[in-house]
Amino acid sequence: MTGTTTIPVTQTASTAPAIPVLSVEQVTVRFAGLTALDDVSFTVAPGSIHALIGPNGAGKSTSFNVLSGVYRATSGTVRFGDALLTGLMPHRIAELGVARTFQNIVLTAGTVADNLMLGRYTLTRAGFAATALRLPGAVREQRRHRERAREIAEFVGLGARFETPVGLLSYGERKRVELARALCMEPKLLLLDEPVAGMNTAERKAMAHTITAIRRALGISILIVEHDMGMIMRISDEVTVLDFGRRIGGGTPQQVQRDPAVIRAYLGTGDHAAPAANRTTDGDGAR
């Protein structure tokens, strides 16, 4: 399935939220003597698609876990505009406009609608009692959130599945549910952890189209971890390359493909072409 090319409730220059710069500055993460990230720095420009790539064990998932508050950095800082993310709990980071998907699909029982409504939680103002008692204000708010969730489902190609139990969906559709749930948080920064892993060729192409449509329609920043090098090189504005927890290269996709250090990390030699634009590698081991 593919989404439409524009997302409902189109944002204008006057209504779109300001998108902050994401700055990762000299971040180190150690676990019981093991260094998972070693003095890593990179910047995600507002409204860009920025890829974080590297061989198995490079530190990509550790980076995502630091950015989303699951892990705490041993040293270094992460800033999202004026906000210091380092040390914040995941729910506080989410409230600042950072949403993420996961490599392994994380969905609750229930329908697509039920899962997408979970993404509206940080935007809900009615208290538990008002919601439980179905007070008029809470009912109106829930109706608005549900309408927006339906719009987002339509955008990612799940409109016809909105009331369908997620257990009846295909693998590719469930990956889209997770993406839609993250979008339901109305993020300024979207972290996508292997969004096309396990998909067939048609599903991969459709998801790549949806990701670029999200950036085009909303203007938000997207940081993506993915092994599908063909997709990464086609849709990314900038690429940061990690290897054994260290940043070994970065730049435009074209610059990265010509970088000898990146070539060695992927192929073990400087005598071959850079990571091929049509190459896909699967699995990421313990990252």
Q: Contact, 224 vs 195, CB < 8 A?
A: yes
Measured distance CA(212)–CA(7) in Å, rounded: 12
Domain enclosing residue 245, as ranges: 20-97+189-196+220-287
The answer to whether residue 10 is domain-embedded is no
Measured distance CA(180)–CA(162) in Å, rounded: 11
| CATH number of the domain encompassing residue 90 | 3.40.50.300
Same domain, 93 and 225: yes
Same domain, 81 and 142: no
Measured distance CA(95)–CA(99) in Å, rounded: 9
pLDDT band, very low/low/confident/very high, at 123 (cuts 50, 70, 90): low
268 or 65, greater pLDDT: 65
Same domain, 232 and 278: yes
Q: Give the per-residue pLDDT at 279.
A: 44
The answer to whether residue 4 is domain-embedded is no
The answer to whether residue 153 is domain-embedded is yes
Q: Give the per-residue pLDDT at 134.
A: 57
Measured distance CA(134)–CA(183) in Å, rounded: 26
The answer to whether residue 215 is domain-embedded is no
Same domain, 84 and 108: no
Burial 173-206 (b: 16+ CB within 10 A, else e): bbbbbbbbbbbbbbbbbbbbbbbbbebeeebbbb
* pLDDT (tens digit per residue) in 173-215: 999 999 999 999 999 999 999 999 999 999 999 999 999 999 9
Measured distance CA(111)–CA(255) in Å, rounded: 44
Q: Which two tokens stand for residue 71?
A: 């892990």
Same domain, 168 and 150: yes
Measured distance CA(155)–CA(147) in Å, rounded: 13
Same domain, 89 and 225: yes
The answer to whether residue 15 is domain-embedded is no
The answer to whether residue 264 is domain-embedded is yes
Same domain, 224 and 93: yes
| Domain termination residue (choose one: 186, 210, 235) | 186
The answer to whether residue 78 is domain-embedded is yes
* pLDDT (tens digit per residue) in 38-61: 999 999 999 999 999 998 889 999
State how many domains the chain has.
Answer: 2
The answer to whether residue 5 is domain-embedded is no
Residue 234 CB: number of other CB atoms within 10 A? 14
Same domain, 181 and 105: yes
Lowest mean pLDDT across 16-20, 72-76, 260-264:
16-20
Q: Give the per-residue pLDDT at 235.
A: 96
How high does pLDDT run on average in the chain?
85
| Domain termination residue (choose one: 132, 163, 186) | 186
132 or 179, greater pLDDT: 179
Q: Is the pLDDT of residue 221 over 70?
A: yes
